[in-house]
Structure 1
Amino acid sequence: MLLSQAKLHNNNNNSISNAINMSMKNKGNNNNNNNHCSPAILYLYPCLDGVFAALAAHLYFKATSLLSPLFFPNTVYNPLSAEDLPLNEIGDLYLLDFVGPDGFVQEISTKVPRVIVLDHHKSALEMLGNEASLGENVVKVIDMERSGATIAFDYFKDKILSPDVAVKHPSVHEEFERVRQLFLYTEDGDLWRWRFPNSKAFGSGLKDLNIEFDARKNPSLFDQLLSLDLDNIISKGKLSLSDKQKLIDEYLRKSYEIALGNAEFGHCLAVNVDTVFSELRSELGHQLATKSQKMNLRYVFPPRNYSLYP
């Protein structure tokens, strides 16, 4: 009963259980080489979904590990390579919410004892869907129905409950439960579902806190995330969301029609924005597409369950 209550999602949990069982089996095979190495956590940056996936890893290793994990923010525009990592210090390597460029998993799996992939992007499925291209030391959970944060929450929460894992700080169980709503709100916004009435306010309020998501630059990152109060974030987010919508409305009024490919592909709306406005580019783009649709022009919305990289 405790296991089912701990899960954020009750669907497709076999993939989580299978991944944990496989990772524990592989860990036994690699124990001799892995005892004095730290786990490495590569997580998508700067991304709310990626940093909450890293938070789930932080809680797990806080509860179980004698060795502090090494956290590496990983950007899409300049992804980490094997040469960027202290491979001689790394045991298990986790790829959270971003698997790196094509071929990275195959390469890095030959240099570390084990690679665990927790992701939900279509690109990850396309790159890693072929089991034959992966080594036996690669464990993966790729689920496009969830976000990276909730996949990581379920994976690390379930792993703590495994009888094969020695938990040194049981209080972490309560910490997982205390922040579970933050993970659900993060997923709701990351997948553009907006099933929770205050998801946009949550995202706006959290962004306004200007928390640095790079754990190497901000040693207090995970303490800051664990101290977040959902109601307070939403309350402040509602106020800032109203101000941001006024700014978006102003830019929408300045939008103009452009031809795509010399009109070969039709017309759509465009707008000029400055770098100060860049943090609202996704929401502006969505509302610009809605306005284009109403004017019978070309428009593009993110498909269902699509997650935008930053």
Structure 2
Amino acid sequence: MLRRRLLLRGATTPPVPGLRRAFRSDASLKAIRAQSHSTKTTAASASDGPMHLALYNYPTFGGAYAALAAHLFHRRLRLRLLLLPFSSVEPFRAADFEDAGFETCYLLDFFGPKNFALELSQFIPSVIAFDHRRSTMARISHLGHCPSNLELNIDTTKSSARAVFDYLSKKFTGKKPDSDMCEKLLDQEDEERVLSVLKYIEDADLRKWQLPNTKEFQTALRDERGKLNCVTNPLVFEQLLQLDVCNLLAREESLTHNRLEAAGKLIHRPFKIQLGRGTYGECLVS
């Protein structure tokens, strides 16, 4: 495990060419600009408390569940948080956040392209990154030293989602302001269900493939991947809380059975296919 504060030097990341904003969307940029505007009204900002930012790797389930942990942590402590998906297809630029006045930035399940994390640390007081990939570990070893406000949590023995849940759960226990507040980030009814999903995500993220039916579980998750953008799907975190390993496996088993049954019926029914769109005649398949 690598958990250290590094000091980096590097050039500013150049702007991404082109006008495409499929992931660095107008809606996301509008939310950032709205925060930038609110910081200029200092009286309102002071009364509301500092604003925090969390960028999560999209569309990975490790990133999404790490974002769920951040969502629960800030909601329970009544802290303001802007959560946004981060995709390498059309990544944010550090300059997008420069005037927004964020107190903390979490990078969940990724370290960012080139010097992204370093550039954020130049104007955000605390930048905290989580990743589990060996490729990230290799990058870190060549970066040298970086500022004390950039904290890197790189652990190749656990998934980023579990690392973030562990980190924020410990932090939550130390910051819980009153005795009436829930003892944990997760309610008792959600805890067993979510932790079970996290085990399966970690099994795949670390390429262990040791849990029963783990590949079937990953196949079942594919249908949920399109829901992981919190900008286009504001209910994503409620939906993640409800995902259940047993239900997903049962659904996948049912779908597989139906497909095999349909294929079995079709395989005994002869039909014609055209060869070369009919250029070379037809063929009877049975």
TM-score normalized with structure 2 length? 0.67
Shift of 1:77: 2.8
Q: Residue 104 of structure 2 aligns to which amino acid in structure 1?
A: D
Shift of 1:189: 1.8
Asked if 1:61 is matched to 2:74, the reply is yes
Match of residue 182, structure 1, among 180, 197, 208: 197
Contact 2:134/2:156 (<8 A) preserved = yes
Could you tell me which runs of 5 or more consecutive residues in structure 1 were left unpaired when the two chains were aligned. Answer: 1-11, 20-31, 247-310
Correspondence for 1:194: 209
Contact 2:56/2:67 (<8 A) preserved = yes
Contact 1:128/1:134 (<8 A) preserved = no
Asked if 1:150 is matched to 2:165, the reply is no
Correspondence for 1:88: 100
Shift of 1:86: 6.1
Deviations 1:183-230 (A, max 9, x none): 111111222211111212222222224541111111100001112222
Could you tell me which runs of 5 or more consecutive residues in structure 2 were left unpaired when the two chains were aligned. Answer: 6-44, 262-286
Correspondence for 1:121: 133
Correspondence for 2:54: 41
RMSD (Å), alpha carbons: 3.1
| Inter-CA distance 212–95: structure 2 relative to 1 (3 Å threshold) | same
Q: Residue 109 of structure 1 aligns to which amino acid in structure 2?
A: S
Q: Distance in 2 between matches of 1:54 and 1:145?
A: 20
Shift of 1:169: 3.8
Q: Residue 189 of structure 1 aligns to which amino acid in structure 2?
A: A
Q: Which has the larger radius of gyration?
A: 2
Q: Residue 215 of structure 2 aligns to which amino acid in structure 1?
A: K
Q: Distance in 2 between matches of 1:76 and 1:120?
A: 17
Shift of 1:110: 0.4
- Greater shift, 121-130 or 131-140, is seen at 121-130
SS in 2 for 1:161: helix
Shift of 1:79: 2.1
Contact 1:206/1:237 (<8 A) preserved = no
Q: Distance in 1 between matches of 2:260 and 2:130?
A: 34
Shift of 1:66: 3.0
Shift of 1:99: 1.1
Instruction: Give matches, 1:1-310, under 5 Å.
Output: 36-67=49-80, 69-85=81-97, 87-129=99-141, 132-162=144-174, 164-166=175-177, 169-170=181-182, 172-174=185-187, 175-209=190-224, 211-240=226-255
| Inter-CA distance 203–244: structure 2 relative to 1 (3 Å threshold) | farther
Contact 1:201/1:241 (<8 A) preserved = no
Q: Distance in 2 between matches of 1:40 and 1:63?
A: 16
Correspondence for 1:29: none
SS in 1 for 2:211: coil
| Inter-CA distance 218–212: structure 2 relative to 1 (3 Å threshold) | same
Q: Distance in 2 between matches of 1:108 and 1:124?
A: 18
- Structure with the larger RCO, 1 or 2 (CA within 8 Å, 6+ apart): 2
Give runs of ≥4 in structure 1 deviating > 6 Å: 242-246
Contact 1:87/1:112 (<8 A) preserved = no
What is the aligned-residue identity percentage? 31
SS in 2 for 1:92: strand
Q: Residue 186 of structure 1 aligns to which amino acid in structure 2?
A: I
Contact 2:104/2:126 (<8 A) preserved = yes
SS in 1 for 2:71: helix
Contact 1:205/1:238 (<8 A) preserved = no
Correspondence for 2:271: none
Q: Distance in 1 between matches of 2:219 and 2:254?
A: 9
Q: Residue 194 of structure 1 aligns to which amino acid in structure 2?
A: W
